[in-house]
């Protein structure tokens, strides 16, 4: 749905994006995680060409946006929704007026506009707030207005620029739940950027980690979890530095070794080994339960035990001695 | 000088001041508002970047702002004659008043427009809004309370400038104060003129503040 290839953006001698490739599939929620200054905001703003890239191409829904003229680009943007960290609502307009704004830009006649605005406010749970001004709303309500506005033109793609970063944790969860619902009900493809791991954990199907203007790793989250040395896994399950000889076991629900399967006790029963647990973490990620365990195995049959764990489909990494 | 002597003089002078201020306000907005929009839009990262034109505009505005009004008024006499066919009277006075107030108002408009958040403008761009739409439906409505405040300050300034227009035969309250209060030592009339000016300025400021406050939705 969104394909970014070889994207470069430089401001003078400062390189913000250094050859970024990204593929967001239709109907998925794709999260780009990174510290501030990693280039993720520039990346998002290059997707709808708010920033003109220095090099590379951006394709949304099969159209190469970088090749479009100004008028065509404006029409293409009407099919790409965007929500913002600080909501970016017009303070001079009511809630209904804000949601109607993109419809005015599209040239929808007034009577149809009013009906559509009503539907949209219903969709985001703000039916009673049509006449309120943004200043009278809470942060969560403002972002709901932002979402309704972004969906006005029935976009196939929604770009989210740190949409929950200015919200408290409870409100963040409700906005994320709304995004997930819209993703499921409308088949909306969502590309979001965030510096919060919790956002990735809560709603993303795929993720990319970005730093210094490059994508460090990207892909469906279960695949990333199954990749040795994954930075996403390290950030999801922070464990103390691995001592030489210690064993790190990563398990996800999509593998035969399910998180709730008692693998450790099985190993102890089947093999002549002792297991010493050094650390561990368990999380629900992308709708599946996943976890990581750091152990030390001692005993004659250690290697056989590790082989058994690998056969169960677990990712087993042994820190080199 | 009795009140009945003063009343017709005051009435006429107030009318002339009002006329000068109204006409020059109208033309100041007509020219100053687009100029203010241009000052913001032509920025390097503005809506229609034109850094060189921006610099020239800025320079012209600064030159206009740095001339004392009484000097500017006399300096533009040829322009006044070109436009109105005369250099005397309230109509002729509206020309230097406008020329004097446009750069002033344009700077205030610029400041008001810069108060509009970049994120709001970018959100509109992300929706596919054209530049004209962004100016008409985002920048100006969002800055409206600030623009009204700018207009208020400009009208007050024009009232004060218009007092000087008496020097080139524009008439008005300033002229009255100079001719009667200063040259004929009519202290009573002088005081009444001052009172009228104060009331006038106060009224304009109060109305402007009230409108601006009503429009503020922050």
In DSSP terms, which residues pair with B119 in a beta bridge?
none
pLDDT band for A243, please (50, 70, 90 cuts). confident
* pLDDT score recorded for residue A100: 97
In a shared domain, residues A199 and A262: no
Contacts of A165 in chain B (CB under 8 A): none
* pLDDT score recorded for residue A315: 86
Opening angle at CA A287, ends A308 and A187, nearest 5 = 135
- Looking at per-residue pLDDT, the higher value among A87 and A285 belongs to A87
In a shared domain, residues A194 and A275: no
Q: How many CB atoms lie within 10 A of CB B30?
A: 11
* pLDDT score recorded for residue A55: 93
- The string of pLDDT tens digits covering residues A117-148 is 999 999 999 999 999 999 999 999 999 999 99
Residue A231 domain-assigned (yes or no): no
Model confidence at A258: pLDDT above 70: no
Specify the DSSP element, H or E, that contains A316: strand A315-318
Residue A229 domain-assigned (yes or no): no
Share in percent of chain A as helix, strand, coil (round to 5): 35, 30, 35
* pLDDT score recorded for residue A319: 86
Is B217 in contact with A92 (Cβ distance < 8 A)?
yes
The percentage of residues in chain A with a pLDDT greater than 90, rounded to a whole number, is: 64
Query: Which pTM value belongs to this model?
Result: 0.87
pLDDT band for B78, please (50, 70, 90 cuts). very high
Instruction: Give the three-state DSSP class for A125.
Output: coil
Model confidence at A321: pLDDT above 90: no
- Looking at per-residue pLDDT, the higher value among A257 and B172 belongs to B172
Structural domain containing residue A282: 237-318
Model confidence at A226: pLDDT above 90: no
Q: Which residue has the tokens 């399950």?
A: A237
In a shared domain, residues A219 and A127: yes
For residue A165, give the nearest of A36, A289, A52, A70 by alpha carbon: A36
CATH number for the domain harbouring residue A161: 3.40.50.300
Contacts of B138 in chain A (CB under 8 A): 90
**Which residue numbers of B have CB closer than 8 Å to A's CBs?**
117, 119-120, 122-130, 133, 137-138, 141-142, 144, 215, 217-218
User: Measured between CA atoms, how close is A81 to chain B, in angstroms?
Assistant: 7
Is B120 in contact with A77 (Cβ distance < 8 A)?
no
CATH topology for B3-215? Answer: MetI-like fold (1.10.3720)
Is A101 in contact with B137 (Cβ distance < 8 A)?
yes
Q: Any CB–CB contact under 8 A between A3 and chain B?
A: no
Q: Which of A196, A223, A250 is the last residue of a domain?
A: A223
Q: How many CB atoms lie within 10 A of CB A308?
A: 17
* pLDDT score recorded for residue A280: 87
Interface test with B, best of A68, A92, A103 (most B CBs within 10 A): A92
* pLDDT score recorded for residue A312: 81
CA distance A244 to A250: 18
* pLDDT score recorded for residue B139: 97
From residue A106, give the alpha-carbon distance in Å to each of A47, A103, A113, A116, A154: 20, 5, 10, 13, 11
Tell me chain B's radius of gyration from C-alpha atoms: 20
Q: Which two tokens stand for residue A239?
A: 């464990």
Q: Which residue of B has its CA nearest to A73?
A: B128
In a shared domain, residues A313 and A186: no
- The string of pLDDT tens digits covering residues A284-306 is 787 777 888 899 888 888 889 88
* pLDDT score recorded for residue A260: 60
Total domains in chain A come to: 2
Strand order in the sheet with A288-298: A274-285, A288-298, A247-252, A315-318
pLDDT, average across residues A34-63: 93
CA distance B206 to B162: 20
ipTM of this predicted structure: 0.86
- The string of pLDDT tens digits covering residues B146-205 is 999 999 999 999 999 998 887 778 888 988 988 888 888 888 999 999 999 999 999 999
Model confidence at A257: pLDDT above 80: no
Q: Which two tokens stand for residue B79?
A: 């322009």
Is A102 in contact with B138 (Cβ distance < 8 A)?
no
In DSSP terms, which residues pair with A295 in a beta bridge?
A247, A277
Computed over every residue of chain A, the mean pLDDT equals: 91
CA distance A161 to A200: 13
In a shared domain, residues A154 and A270: no
Q: Which of A223, A254, A280 is the last residue of a domain?
A: A223
Contacts of B142 in chain A (CB under 8 A): 90-92
Selecting from A92, A105, A135 the residue whose C-beta is nearest the C-beta of B127 gives A105
CA distance A257 to A311: 9
Q: Which two tokens stand for residue B80?
A: 């006044």
For residue B120, give the nearest of A197, A91, A276, A128 by alpha carbon: A91
In a shared domain, residues A151 and A209: yes
Residue A104 domain-assigned (yes or no): yes
Pairing of strands A189-194, A29-34: parallel
The percentage of residues in chain B with a pLDDT greater than 70, rounded to a whole number, is: 100
* pLDDT score recorded for residue A309: 87
Is B142 in contact with A76 (Cβ distance < 8 A)?
no
Model confidence at A225: pLDDT above 90: no
Domain ranges of chain B: 3-215
In a shared domain, residues A66 and A213: yes
Q: Which residue of B has its CA nearest to A76?
A: B128
Q: Any CB–CB contact under 8 A between A191 and chain B?
A: no
Instruction: Give the three-state DSSP class for A190.
Output: strand
In a shared domain, residues A172 and A311: no
The percentage of residues in chain B with a pLDDT greater than 90, rounded to a whole number, is: 67
A 285-314 residues with CB below 8 A of B?
Answer: none
* pLDDT score recorded for residue A256: 47
Q: How many CB atoms lie within 10 A of CB A255?
A: 19
Residue A29 domain-assigned (yes or no): yes
* pLDDT score recorded for residue A254: 55
In DSSP terms, which residues pair with A8 in a beta bridge?
A18, A55
CATH number for the domain harbouring residue A290: 3.30.70.260
In a shared domain, residues A133 and A255: no
CA distance B91 to B102: 17
Tell me chain A's radius of gyration from C-alpha atoms: 23
pLDDT, average across residues A171-199: 95
pLDDT, average across residues A206-222: 93
For residue A137, give the nearest of A99, A101, A110, A173 by alpha carbon: A99
- Looking at per-residue pLDDT, the higher value among A230 and B101 belongs to B101
The answer to whether A191 touches A158, Cβ cutoff 8 Å, is yes
Residues ≥6 apart with Cβ < 8 Å to B142: A90, A91, A92, B116, B120
pLDDT band for A171, please (50, 70, 90 cuts). very high
In a shared domain, residues A244 and A181: no
Identity of the highest mean pLDDT range in A183-192, A232-241, B74-83: A183-192
């Amino acid at each position: 749905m969104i394909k970014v290839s070889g994207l470069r953006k430089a401001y003078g001698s400062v390189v913000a994006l250094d050859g970024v490739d990204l593929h967001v599939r239709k109907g998925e929620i794709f999260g780009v995680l990174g510290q501030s200054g990693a280039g993720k905001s520039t990346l998002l703003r290059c997707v709808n060409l708010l920033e003109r890239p220095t090099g590379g191409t951006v394709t949304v829904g099969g159209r190469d946006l970088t090749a479009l003229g100004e008028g065509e680009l404006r029409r293409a943007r009407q099919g790409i929704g965007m929500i913002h960290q600080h909501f970016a609502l017009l303070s001079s307009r009511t809630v209904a007026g804000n949601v109607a704004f993109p419809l005015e830009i599209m040239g929808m006649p007034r009577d149809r506009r009013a009906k559509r605005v009503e539907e949209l406010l219903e969709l985001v749970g703000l039916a009673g707030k049509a006449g309120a001004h943004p200043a009278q709303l809470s942060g969560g309500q403002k972002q709901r207005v932002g979402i309704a506005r972004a969906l006005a033109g029935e976009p196939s793609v929604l770009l989210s620029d740190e949409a929950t970063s200015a919200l408290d944790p409870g409100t963040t969860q409700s906005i994320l739940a709304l995004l997930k619902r819209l993703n499921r009900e409308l088949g909306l493809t969502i590309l979001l950027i965030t510096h919060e791991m919790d956002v990735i954990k809560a709603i993303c199907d795929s993720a990319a980690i970005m730093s210094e203007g490059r994508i460090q790793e990207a892909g469906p989250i279960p695949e990333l979890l199954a990749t040795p040395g994954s930075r996403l896994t390290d950030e999801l399950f922070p464990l103390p530095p691995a001592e030489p000889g210690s064993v790190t076991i990563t398990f996800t629900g999509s593998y035969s070794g399910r998180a709730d399967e008692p693998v450790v006790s099985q190993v102890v029963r089947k093999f002549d080994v002792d297991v010493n647990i050094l650390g561990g973490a368990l999380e629900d990620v992308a709708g599946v339960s996943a976890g990581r365990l750091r152990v030390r195995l001692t005993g004659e049959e250690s290697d056989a035990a590790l082989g058994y764990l690998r056969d169960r489909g677990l990712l087993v990494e042994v820190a080199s001695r | 000088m009795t009140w009945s002597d003063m009343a017709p003089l005051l009435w006429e002078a107030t009318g002339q001041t009002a006329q000068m201020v109204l006409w020059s306000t109208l033309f100041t907005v007509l020219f100053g508002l687009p100029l203010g929009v241009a000052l913001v839009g032509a920025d390097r990262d503005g809506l229609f970047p034109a850094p060189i034109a921006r610099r020239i505009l800025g320079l012209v505005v600064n030159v206009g702002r740095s001339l004392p009004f009484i000097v500017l008024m006399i300096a533009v006499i040829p322009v006044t004659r070109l436009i109105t066919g005369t250099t005397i009277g309230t109509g002729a006075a509206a020309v230097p008043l406008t020329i004097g107030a446009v750069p002033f108002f344009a700077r205030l408009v610029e400041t008001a427009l810069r108060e509009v958040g970049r994120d709001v403008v970018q959100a509109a761009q992300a929706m596919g809004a054209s530049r004209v739409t962004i100016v008409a439906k985002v920048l100006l409505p969002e800055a409206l309370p600030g623009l009204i405040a700018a207009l208020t300050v400009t009208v007050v300034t024009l009232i004060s400038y218009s007092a000087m227009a008496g020097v080139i035969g524009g008439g008005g309250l300033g002229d009255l104060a100079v001719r009667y209060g200063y040259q004929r030592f009519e202290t009573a009339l002088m005081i009444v003129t001052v009172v009228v000016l104060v009331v006038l300025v106060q009224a304009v400021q109060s109305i402007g503040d009230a409108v601006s406050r009503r429009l503020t939705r922050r």
